[in-house]
A = this chain, B = another copy of it.
Amino acid sequence: MPDIHHDVLGIGNAIVDVITHADDAVIDRLGLNRGTMTLIDADTAARLYDEMGPGIEVSGGSAANTIAALASLGGQGAFIGKVSSDQLGTIFRHDITALGIRFLAEPAKDGTPTGRCLIFVTPDAQRTMQTFLGVSAELAPRDIDEAAVASARITYLEGYLWDRPDAKDAFRKAAQVAHEAKRLVALSLSDPFCVDRHRADFRTLVEHHVDVLFANEDEIVSLYGEHSFDAALQQVRHHCWIAALTRSEKGSVIVSNNEVHIVDAEPVGAVVDSTGAGDAYAAGFLFALTQERDLVTCARVGGVCAAEVIGHMGARAETSLAKLVADRLG
């Protein structure tokens, strides 16, 4: 068994977020699917950008956000995801490496631009995301650094990868390498519509290849085709080691075999932008797990991290999460 080099290795889309405020009328006029993530092509991205208000640009990507938050907590992180050598790719690489994260993918040079996600934040702090993956869509099994996977305590995968065959193969390869090295595999279901598109695959995955599952209410209900959160919860408890089910302001429910813990949300000031709340929660949970903390503490650390990122625009923490957790949980 190789030595541990990283607490968590994330594999996901490498994306720069372009975030704007938008009222509900804009969401309606543009015909967007409120509160979800939609994949768009380059032409649609250009058209929507023309229609969009002034934005700020912040590095994003679901699993990348999680690794960024893990680094802010003091964890050792690595990330695999594809960027181009263009200005957005330079921004993405800078922001992740500036956090001390090992960025394992070489920039692509085929001219396909770095991916971006146009995010419309409505007055209720909900985000509606339109993603042009760009070169991020080219992630393939050859990009998986086997030695890095084998030497990470946890390999963390975002469900969004499941939308493309090559990325799905990369995902499966990473999970296999991790398990052969006796490491943990964690998965975030990412989006209820993504689950909807790939339900059978996700079910197989969760039952056979995932140790730690993150999902929100809509996603876990969608995974099991159930009508209630409770019914879905009863199913998932037998399917993976730990399921951390997030419920926004209602906190989270942690299920692990016969253990069930209901953990309240952390107090939040103004809720400004929910982008990245789930990503930050996963970071806190996984970081505490690598520290061998109990499940309730894992959930609470996750909650503290989520509370920080929903208090401002953008999915990346603006303050030290390590300090915040120390202040809150002692």
A residues sitting closer than 8 Å to B (CB atoms) are 18, 21, 49-50, 52-59, 68, 86-88, 91, 94-96, 98-99, 113, 312-314, 316, 318
Extra inter-chain contacts (15) besides given A52-B98, A54-B94, A56-B57, CB under 8 Å: A18-B91, A21-B318, A53-B98, A54-B59, A54-B95, A54-B96, A54-B98, A54-B99, A55-B94, A55-B95, A56-B56, A57-B57, A57-B91, A86-B86, A312-B312
Closest to A87 in B: B87
Closest to A17 in B: B56
* Bound CA–CA A55/B88 (angstroms): 12
* Bound CA–CA A38/B86 (angstroms): 26
A-B contact pairs, 25 of them (CB 8 A): A18-B91, A21-B318, A50-B94, A52-B98, A53-B99, A54-B59, A54-B68, A54-B94, A54-B95, A54-B96, A54-B98, A54-B316, A55-B91, A55-B95, A56-B56, A56-B58, A56-B314, A57-B57, A57-B58, A57-B91, A86-B86, A86-B87, A87-B88, A87-B113, A312-B312
Chain B residues, CB < 8 A from A316? 54
Q: Write the nearest CB–CB distance from A313 to chain B, whole angstroms.
A: 7
User: Which of A49, A88, A95, A313 has most chain B Cβ within 10 Å?
Assistant: A95
Chain B residues, CB < 8 A from A59? 54
Chain B residues, CB < 8 A from A313? 318
* Bound CA–CA A18/B21 (angstroms): 20
Q: Write the nearest CB–CB distance from A46 to chain B, whole angstroms.
A: 9
Q: Write the nearest CB–CB distance from A74 to chain B, whole angstroms.
A: 15
Q: Write the nearest CB–CB distance from A11 to chain B, whole angstroms.
A: 20
* Bound CA–CA A59/B57 (angstroms): 9
Q: Write the nearest CB–CB distance from A43 to chain B, whole angstroms.
A: 15
* Bound CA–CA A71/B18 (angstroms): 21
* Bound CA–CA A88/B57 (angstroms): 10
